[in-house]
Amino acid sequence: MISRVLVIGAGGFIGRALCQALNVQGTRVKAVSRRGQLLNLPGIEQIASDCRNPSEVATSLGDIDAVVYLAACSTPGSSAGKPSAELSENLAPLMATLEALQGHPSIPLIYFSSAGAIYDEQAAVASCESDLPRPRSYHGAAKVAAEQFIGAWARQFGGGATIIRPSNVYGPGQAEKAGFGIVPAALGCIRRDEALTVWGDGSAVRDYLYIDDLVDLTLAALEQASASEVRTLNAASGECVSLNELLSLAELASGQALRRQYILGRTVDASRVSISADCARQTLGWRPAVPLAEGLKRTWLWLNTTPL
């Protein structure tokens, strides 16, 4: 029974949503973020840390049943041309966490990787967990490296981990931030009547997963967390659309037109990402419940409750 969870990276979009869901079901949460006090909820202990010191991480593990690692601060675009940024910003904190977990091998780890950044864009069928990773970006390469470090930790110390590879996650609570998330960027531009900058011609295909569906999968993974094996699960809706189709759906959700400015595409962006989540369905009994059109409507309604 998982009753106490350490969430590293609790200040981000997914981390905040997960902490709130854990809190609702009565799970005690230690929420680690760089800034600390982010969630005004009873039952959540908030810790300000960048998780670069193994001994500091270890002090939070004494009464914990599971660790969820969500800390990340890059995208394929933000670390393009800067591989050292992935090492210092994303891999270093994970290494410190794994070093701390060496003394607590019975605590299972849930790690958030990326489906959109690691699979072969030329795959003829939806990518599954057994497919050989072929990252195009330094961001994707760092995710693959992180997965390998987790596997090495588990084999050396007898630990267990669930690696979740989500597609493009969106939904209420996702702040608009340059380079992070096409859905908040598009809806924000619609709301302000601004033109959206589109890299390429809009034909790039992606899978989009609603935040509540990802949280449900994570809760199921925690309940069935293994302390002795490493498993990998894709998290995807199975609903693949081009960027142009996504933007048209955003217009339908808002009832307003979106002005677009197309510019030359980037070499770090894959042309097509299609992902199979059959393993999560078979292993956890999980199925995504919110179609893209409905998820965009919910996100638009939420956005209009926040100040400009």
DSSP letter for each residue of 123-180: -SS-B-TTSPP--SSHHHHHHHHHHHHHHHHHHHHT--EEEEEE-EEE-TT---BTTB
Nearest to 183 by CA among 232, 250, 103, 108: 250
The third-level CATH classification (topology) of the domain covering 4-172+209-237 is Rossmann fold (3.40.50)
Does the pTM surpass 0.85? The reply is yes
Q: What is the pLDDT of residue 36?
A: 64
The number of beta carbons lying within 10 Å of the beta carbon of residue 176 is: 17
Q: What pLDDT score was predicted for residue 308?
A: 64
Confidence at residue 227, expressed as pLDDT on a 0 to 100 scale: 81
Neighbours of 20 (CB within 10 A): 15
Q: Using an 8 Å Cβ cutoff, are 237 and 175 in contact?
A: no
CA distance 124 to 107: 38
Nearest to 17 by CA among 256, 210, 231: 210
- Please give the Cα distance from 265 to 271 (Å, whole number): 10
pLDDT of residue 35: 78
Q: Where are the domains of the chain?
A: 4-172+209-237
The residue type of 259 is R
pLDDT of the chain, 308 residues: tens digit per residue: 789 999 999 999 999 999 999 999 999 999 999 876 666 777 799 998 989 899 999 999 989 999 999 998 777 777 788 888 898 889 999 999 999 999 999 999 999 999 988 987 766 678 999 999 998 889 999 999 999 999 999 999 999 999 999 999 999 999 888 777 899 999 999 999 999 999 889 999 999 999 999 999 999 999 999 888 999 999 999 999 999 999 999 999 999 999 999 998 877 677 788 899 999 999 999 999 999 999 999 999 999 987 76
Angstrom distances, CA of residue 298 to CA of 11, 237, 270, 291, 304: 22, 16, 28, 11, 10
Give the DSSP H or E segment for 221. Answer: helix 211-223
pLDDT tens track for 3-20 = 999 999 999 999 999 999
Which amino acid belongs to residue 194?
Answer: E
Classify residue 89 by its DSSP letter: I
What confidence score (pLDDT) does residue 111 get? 98
Angle CA 172–109–224, to nearest 5? 80
First to last CA, the chain: 43
d(CA 268, CA 136): 6
Dmax of the chain from CA atoms? 55
